[in-house]
Amino acid sequence: MTGNAPILELDRLGKVFSADGHSVAALDDVSLAFTRGECHAIVGESGSGKTTLANLVLGLIGATSGEIRFDGATLGRSRTREQKRAIQLVQQNPLSALNPRRSVGASIRLPLDVHDLGRRSERDARVASLLQEVGLEPEHARRSPRGLSGGQRQRIAIARALACEPELLVLDEPTSALDVLVQARVLQLLQRLRQERGLTYLFITHDLAVVRAIADRVSVFQKGRLVETGPVETLFSDPKSAYTRELIGAIPVVTEAEAALRAAIRAGAPVPAGAE
Amino acid sequence: MSEPGSPVLASRTRSKAWTAYSADPLSVIGLVIVVAIVGLAIFAPFVTPYPDHVGPTGDFAAMNAAPSADFWFGTDVIGRDLFTRIIYGYRLSLIMAIVVLAIATPIGVIVGLVAGYKGGWTDYILMRITDVFLAVPPLVLAMAIMGFLEPTLLNGMLAITAMWWPWYARLIYNVTRAEAQEGYVLAAETVGASTAHILFREILPNCWPSILTKMTLDIGFVILMASSLSFLGLGVQPPTPDLGSMVADGAKYMPDAWWLTVFPAIAILLVVLGFNLVGDGLREAFEAES
Amino acid sequence: MASNTLQKPVLAIRGLRLAFGDRRHPTPVLHGISMHIRPGEKVALVGESGSGKSVTARLAMGLLQDQKRVHVSGSIFFDGIDAAKGGPEIARRRGNRVAMIFQDPTSALNPTFKIRGQFRDVLRSGDRSISNDEADLRAEAALAEVSIPDPKRALDSYAFQLSGGMNQRVMIAMALANRPQLLIADEPGTALDVTVQAQTLNLMHELTEKTGTSVLLISHNLGVVREFADRVYVIYRGRIVEHGTTAQLFNDPRHPYTRALLAAIPKISGGGLPDLPERSPEFESPLIVHEGCGEPTEAFA
C-alpha cells in the first residue's frame, strides 16, 4: 500500500518445540512483512502459532530457523537495549500485567529509568502526561492497581509501553478480557495513538470482527502455517482459503448485514467490495 | 472514565487487613501476649524487681524460696529472683531470634528468588543444596555443629542460622516460581529491566506477606530451638539467664522446688504460642487483603 | 421459535434480590429481578462482567444460598419448589431435574476420575437403581449423540486427555443424560476457539430441541445470544433493563444500554467504532418490556 520499506520482516521463520522426544513445529516457514505505520492483525485459533510469533518478535524465545529483521537489521535473542526499547508489548490480561505492590506511577516510570529517557527531574511529569495521553488522570500515578477496573489497567499497561517510545507494539489480545463497551473505548484509544505517534501494530487476536474494526492488513494462521495474508477488505470480501471461510462462518453476529455477509462467505461466493 | 474511589487506596487495603486480623480473637490474644513479652523484655531493667540477680550472685538469705509477695515466681538455689531471670531470659531469647532471622532470612530469600526466577542449572544446584540441609533433622544438625564449636551464645546462633535459611529458600522459591508466571514480570522483561530490578523491586514485594508471616511464626520456633540447645547444655552458659538452661537446671530439684522448672517452661510455652497466634493471624489478614 | 405462552413456566424468578457481606453493610448485587422460562424455550440473560448474570444462575441451581454472608430474598419457582431458599430440595434436583454447563469444560470435570465413573454418578442421581452395565450403555449412547467418535474410549479417558471441544461435548452429554427440565449454560464454550464454540452451540441447540429441555443461557456475547436464544433479558448492574424476543431486541433495541452494547460490538461487515461512554446514568433508566413479553401473573409453588 504505502511504498515504505517494511519495519519488520519475518524471513522463513520457524520454531520447533521438542519435549520427551516429540517435536512440534509451532511456527513453520513463515515469511511476512510489516509496513511502518500499519496495523497488521495476526489471526488464529489456539495452536495456530500466533503467540509463538509474538514471543519470537519480542525476543523471549529464539527461532529454530529463519530470520527476523527490524529496520533492516537482524534481530536475534540477545538484543541491545535500544532494540528492546523499540518493540513493546501489551498483554491480554490487564489484571496480572501490573504489579499489585507497586504504584501505577512506578510501573509507568520504570521504562524511563531503564532507558534513561528524559531528565530525571522531569520523569514524574512525563508519567503524568502519559497517563493523560491514555485518558486517565495524573492522580492515578499514586494509586495501586488494586481496585482499578480492567479498562483502566489496560490503559496503564499501554502507557507503560508508550513510555519506552517504541516503534512497534505487539498487542496480544489487548481487549479480549474487557467488556464490550470498554473494548470499544480501548480500541479507539489504540487507533488514535497509532495515528498520533506513527506506531506500527502487530495485533494478535482471535476476533475477526475486531480485526475488521482496527486492522489494515491481516494474516491468518493455522497450526503454525500462514494460510492467508492480505488487506482486511479483501479478506472479508473474498477470502481465499477454506480455513478463513470457516473462521468467518463461525463468528456469532448481531446484525442482519453481518449475517448476510457471513452467509455469502459460508456459501463461498465473493462479496462485492463495500457491501454492508 | 475515572471511577469514584479513595485516592489513598493503600490505606484502604491496609485497614481491610487489620479488620480481618482483629476479627479473630485468637490473633488479638496472640498480639497481646507478644506486646506484653516484648515490652517486658525491652524495659527489663525498670520492670524487674531485682535487676542485679542477672549475674552470678543472688540473695543468700532467700535461697530456694517458694513463690511469695517478694519473689513472685520464687528464687533459685543461690537466691536469685526467678521472675527477674525469666524476663531477662526473654530478652536474650528475643535478641537471639532476631539475630538468627536477620541473617537466615536474607540468605534464604536471595537463594529462593534467584533459583525460582532463573530456573535451569542455577535452580537445580541451589535447590539441591537447600534440600541437603532440609533433609537433616534441624536439632541434629545444630547439635552436630555445636559438637565442633564451643558452646557459646554466638556459636549457638550460628548453628541455628545454618539450619534455618533453607526453609526460607524453599518458601521463597515456590512463591517466586508462581510470581514469575505473572504478567507484570513479563512486562518488566519486555521493558528491558535488569534481573536485579525484577528480583528485588518486582517479585520481592510480592513475597513480603509470606516472609513476614513465616518470620513471625519462626521467632517462637527459634526461641524453642535455642532453649532446646541450652537445655542440652549446648547453648548459652551460666550465669547468663536463659529459659532453656533454667528448665534444665530446675529439673534437678523437681518436684520440691517445682517453680524452678514450671515457670520457665510456661514462659517458653507462652512466647511460642504468642508468636504463633500472631503469625496465623497475619497469614489470614494477608489473604483477606488480596 | 414462538413458545406456548399458555404452558406453565419451568422456571419463574420473582423479585430476586441478592447481597453479599455482613448484615450492617451488605453490598447489593441483584436489585429484584424477575424472569421466566416456559417449556422448551431458550432464554438468554445477557450482561457484562459484574452485572449479576452468573450469580442468578448459581442461585437458580441453589449453589450460593448456603454460603456465609449471602443474603437472598424473592423467589425462584422451579419444579414445584422455591429454589431461592436453597437447601436439600433444590440440591436433590441438581444433575437430574436441572443441569448446568460451565464456561471451561476441562476444569468442570474431575481430573482424578475417568469419564466413566463421573457419568455413572450423573446417571445414578437420576435413577438410583441403575446398574453399572446399564449406566455404561446409556453413557455410550449419550456420547454417540454428541458425535463423539469412539464413546467407549472417551469413557475410559480422563478429562485432561481429551481436547476442550471433546470435554464440552462430554459436559453436554452428561448434562442432558437425565433429560432435565432445565439446562443452565453459563458462558458455554467461551474458553474455546470460535469454531469449537459454534459447534458447541449447534449441538446444544439440536439436543435441547430433541429432548424439549428449556435452556437458560448466561452470556456476555450478544452474537451468541442472537444465534441461540428465543427470548432475551438484558441485565445491567443487578437490574433487568430490557426484555424481548430475540428479533425484537436485535432489530429494535430500545433501552439506551442495549443500544450502546449493540453499537459498541465490532461488526464483520465493517463500520467504525462508535464514540460511546463506558458508563452513563442513561444505562440505568427503567426496564423496557417488548410487546407480548410480560412476566406471567399466575401464582406458582
Give the C-alpha separation, A74 to C117, whole Å.
56
Residue B7: what pLDDT? 39
Q: Which DSSP symbol is given to C61?
A: T
- CB contact under 8 Å between A252 and C227, yes or no, is yes
Q: Chains near A, with 3+ CB pairs < 8 A?
A: B, C
Which residue, among A134, A153, A180, A190, would best test binding to C if mutated, counting the most C CBs under 10 Å from its CB? A180
CB atoms within 10 A of CB C140: 19
C-alpha cell at B17: 487487613
Give the distance from residue B203's alpha carbon to the nearest chain A alpha carbon, in angstroms: 9
CB pairs under 8 A between A and C: 114
Query: Which residues in chain C come in under a pLDDT of 50?
Result: 1-3
- CB contact under 8 Å between C267 and A258, yes or no, is yes
Length of chain C: 301
Give the C-alpha separation, C194 to C197, whole Å.
5
Query: Which residues in chain A come in under a pLDDT of 50?
Result: 1-2, 273-276
C-alpha cell at C126: 437420576
- CB contact under 8 Å between C275 and A188, yes or no, is yes
Residue B13, pLDDT above cutoff 60: no
Nearest to C222 among A206, A254, A262 (CB): A254
Name every chain A residue with its beta carbon within 8 A of the beta carbon of C201. Answer: 252
Sheet with A6-19, strands from edge to edge, namely A22-35, A6-19, A65-70, A73-75
Residue B115: what pLDDT? 95
Residue B195, pLDDT above cutoff 60: yes
Give the distance from residue C268's alpha carbon to the nearest chain A alpha carbon, in angstroms: 5
- CB of C298 within 8 Å of any CB in chain A? no
Per residue in C127-154, pLDDT tens? 888 899 999 999 999 998 888 888 999 9
Give the C-alpha separation, B100 to B106, whole Å.
11
Q: In chain A, positions 181-200, which contact chain C (CB-CB < 8 Å)?
A: 181-185, 187-188, 191
Mean pLDDT of B124-136: 91
CA angle C265, C268, C274 (to 5 degrees): 35
Which residue, among C265, C275, C282, C284, would best test binding to A if mutated, counting the most A CBs under 10 Å from its CB? C265
Residue B266, pLDDT above cutoff 80: yes
- CB of A116 within 8 Å of any CB in chain B? no
Residue C4: what pLDDT? 54
C-alpha cell at B277: 497466634
Q: Chains near B, with 3+ CB pairs < 8 A?
A: A
Q: Work out the angle between the directed axes of helices B204-231 and B243-251 (0-180°, nearest 10).
A: 30
Give the C-alpha separation, C118 to C167, whole Å.
13
Which residue, among A87, A101, A160, A169, would best test binding to B if mutated, counting the most B CBs under 10 Å from its CB? A101
- 8 A C-beta contact, residue C144 and residue C153: no
Q: Is A132 helix (H, G, I), strand (E, B) or coil?
A: helix
Give the C-alpha separation, A42 to A44, whole Å.
7
Across B173-200, b (16+ Cβ under 10 Å) vs e yields bebbeebbebbbbbbbbbbbbeeebbbe
**Cis omega (within 30 of 0) on the bond before B106?**
no
- CB contact under 8 Å between B206 and A101, yes or no, is yes
Q: Taking all residues of chain B, what is their mean pLDDT, rounded to a whole number? A: 83
Residue A55 phi/psi, 5-degree rounding, is -65, -35
Q: In chain C, positions 190-249, which contact chain A (CB-CB < 8 Å)?
A: 193-195, 197-198, 201, 220-224, 226-227
Residues A197/A203/A208/A211 CA torsion (nearest 10 deg): 10
Q: Which residues contact B290 (CB under 8 A, 6 or more apart)?
A: A100, B209
- 8 A C-beta contact, residue A180 and residue C264: yes
- CB contact under 8 Å between A101 and B10, yes or no, is no
Across A22-54, b (16+ Cβ under 10 Å) vs e yields eeebbbbebebebbbbbbbbbbbbeebbbbbbb
- CB contact under 8 Å between A136 and B2, yes or no, is yes
Give the distance from residue A41's alpha carbon to the nearest chain B alpha carbon, in angstroms: 20
Give first-to-last CA distance, chain B, whole Å: 24
H or E segment and range at residue C35: strand C27-37
- CB of A257 within 8 Å of any CB in chain C? yes
- CB of B287 within 8 Å of any CB in chain A? no
Name every chain C residue with its beta carbon within 8 A of the beta carbon of A208. Answer: 268
Name every chain C residue with its beta carbon within 8 A of the beta carbon of A249. Answer: 198
Mean pLDDT of B35-41: 88
H or E segment and range at residue A246: helix A242-249
Give the C-alpha separation, C189 to C201, whole Å.
8
- 8 A C-beta contact, residue B76 and residue B85: yes
Q: Is A79 helix (H, G, I), strand (E, B) or coil?
A: coil
Which residue, among A181, A243, A246, would best test binding to C if mutated, counting the most C CBs under 10 Å from its CB? A181
CA angle A212, A214, A218 (to 5 degrees): 60
Name every chain A residue with its beta carbon within 8 A of the beta carbon of B186. Answer: 60, 89, 91, 97
- 8 A C-beta contact, residue A28 and residue A185: no
DSSP secondary structure string, B75-101? B-TT--BHHHHHHHHHHHHHHHHHHHH
- CB contact under 8 Å between A88 and B194, yes or no, is no
Q: Which residues contact A184 (CB under 8 A, 6 or more apart)?
A: C264, C266, C273, C274, C276
Q: Which residues contact B23 (CB under 8 A, 6 or more apart)?
A: none
CA distances from A240 to A203, A219, B253, C8, C210 (A): 21, 12, 96, 51, 37
Per residue in B55-112, pLDDT tens? 777 666 767 777 777 777 777 777 788 888 888 888 888 888 899 999 999 999 999 9
Give the distance from residue C167's alpha carbon to the nearest chain A alpha carbon, in angstroms: 16
